[in-house]
Amino acid sequence: MSSLLSDELMSAVGRTSEPHREIVTRRDIRKYAIATDSRQAKYLSGDEAPPMFHVSLFWDVVPLDELSPDGVSIDSLLPTFPLKKAMAGGLKIDYFRTIRPGDWLTATRTLSAIYEKAGRSGALIFYEVVMDIMDDESRLVIREKTTRILR
Amino acid sequence: MPTAHPALELDQLKVGDSLPQRTFTPDNKQLFLYNAVLWNAHRIHFDHPYAMEVEEYPGLVIAGPLLGDWMHQCIEEWLGSSGRLMSIEYSNRSASYIGESLSSGGVITQIDKANRQVTLEVFITNEQGDIIAPGVATVELT
C-alpha cells in the first residue's frame, strides 16, 4: 500500500452527494451561450441548452460566508488530501439526451476513485468524481467524470 | 455565422480531414460573465493583483471549462445538423491568460462506417501553437 493513501482516505471512495435538482431556464441558457461566445442560434435564443451547460447548472451555489478568501468553496464530497496543490485536470462527458428549457434535472456526484502515481517531482494523487444527471423520468441525460491531480 | 452549411456525408469524410478552426480572444468582460454564470468566485479570474501576487500567475487566468466549451463548439459547428456529439474526453494541460488568443480545431482520426461514428482529435492551441487542451470526441452521424 502506498504511503500517501491512508485507509481513512480510501474509505471516502464511493461517497455520494445529496441529489441536487435544478430547473433549466431559457434565461440561464442564453447567459451561458453568450458568455461562451456561441454562434448557434438555437443556443443564443435559449431554445436548447448547449453541451457543457450542465457545468453552470450544477456548480455549487454557495453562500458568501462559505467562500474562502481566495473565492473558492470546499467540496464536501472530498476528504482532506495530504497533497494540496491542484494541477490540471480532465473531463470525460457522455451525452445521452438534449436539454431544453423547462427540464428538471437531478445531479448526483460520487467520489469514484482515488489513486497515486509517481510524478517527475514526487508523488501525485489522482481522484475521480462521477456526476450522473437524470431527468424526471429517471433517464440518464449526461454522465460526467472529472479527474483531478494533486501534487 | 455557421448556420447554413452543407450536410456531412459519411462517404465523403476522410481520416485526416480538418475541422474549421476558430480563434478566440476573450477579454475581462467575457471572463467575468462566464464565471458569473457558473457562480465561480475564484479570484484568479477577476482580481488581477491577487492573481499576480498571491497565486503568482502572469495575468488573469482563463477558466479551464471555457476551453472545453470551445472544443464542443468546434465539433458542433462542423457537425451542424448532420449528427450528434456522443462523448468527449479532454484535459486542461496548461493555463492561459487574458490577452492571449487561443484557437480551437480538430481532425478526423477514425471513421466507423458500420456504426456511422466518427472519432475526432480536438484541441485548443495558444499563439505559439502549443496544444494547451487536447481532447478526443466521438460523434454519430444521423
Domain boundaries of chain B, sorted by first residue: 14-26+63-141
Report the SS3 class of residue A12: coil
- pLDDT score, position B4: 55
Residues B98-121 pLDDT 10s: 999 999 999 999 999 999 999 999
Q: Is residue A63 part of a domain?
A: yes
Distance from CA of B137 to the nearest CA of A (A): 9
Q: Is residue A1 part of a domain?
A: no
Q: How far is CA A32 from the centre of its chain?
A: 16
Q: Give the 3-state secondary structure of chain B.
A: CCCCCCCCCHHHCCCCCEEEEEEECCCHHHHHHHHHHHCCCCHHHCCHHHHHHHCCCCCCECCHHHHHHHHHHHHHHHHCCCEEEEEEEEECCCCCECCCCEEEEEEEEEEECCCCEEEEEEEEECCCCCEEEEEEEEEEEC
User: Rounded distance, CA A42 to CA B74, Å?
Assistant: 16
Domain containing A64: what range?
7-150
**pTM summary value:** 0.94
- pLDDT score, position A85: 82
Task: Tell me whether 0.90 is exceeded by the ipTM.
Answer: yes
Q: Is residue A2 part of a domain?
A: no
Residues B52-95 pLDDT 10s: 999 999 999 999 999 999 999 999 999 999 999 999 999 999 99
Radius of gyration in angstroms for the set of CA atoms belonging to chain B, rounded to a whole number: 17
Return the residue in B21, B57, B73 with the most chain A beta carbons within 10 A, the one to mutate for interface testing.
Answer: B73
Residues A107-132 pLDDT 10s: 999 999 999 999 888 899 999 999 99
Total residue count of chain A as it appears in this document: 151
Q: What is the CATH number of the domain that holds A86?
A: 3.10.129.10
**Cβ within 8 Å of residue B135, ≥6 positions away:** B68, B71, B88, B89, B90, B91, B121, B122, B123
The verdict on a CB contact (< 8 Å) between A90 and B30 is no
Binned at pLDDT 50, 70 and 90, residue A86 comes out as: confident
- pLDDT score, position B136: 98
CATH architecture of B14-26+63-141: Roll (3.10)
Over range B35-41, report the average pLDDT: 96
Binned at pLDDT 50, 70 and 90, residue A1 comes out as: very low
Over range A44-51, report the average pLDDT: 98
Q: Is residue A137 part of a domain?
A: yes
A92 interface with B at CB cutoff 8 Å: yes
Which residues from chain B sit within 8 angstroms of residue A147, using beta carbons? 91
Q: Is residue A95 part of a domain?
A: yes
Mean model confidence pLDDT for chain B: 95
Over range B123-142, report the average pLDDT: 97
Number of domains in chain A: 1
Q: Is residue A33 part of a domain?
A: yes
User: Rounded distance, CA A37 to CA B114, Å?
Assistant: 35
Helix, strand, coil % in chain A, rounded to nearest 5: 15, 40, 45
Q: Is residue A38 part of a domain?
A: yes
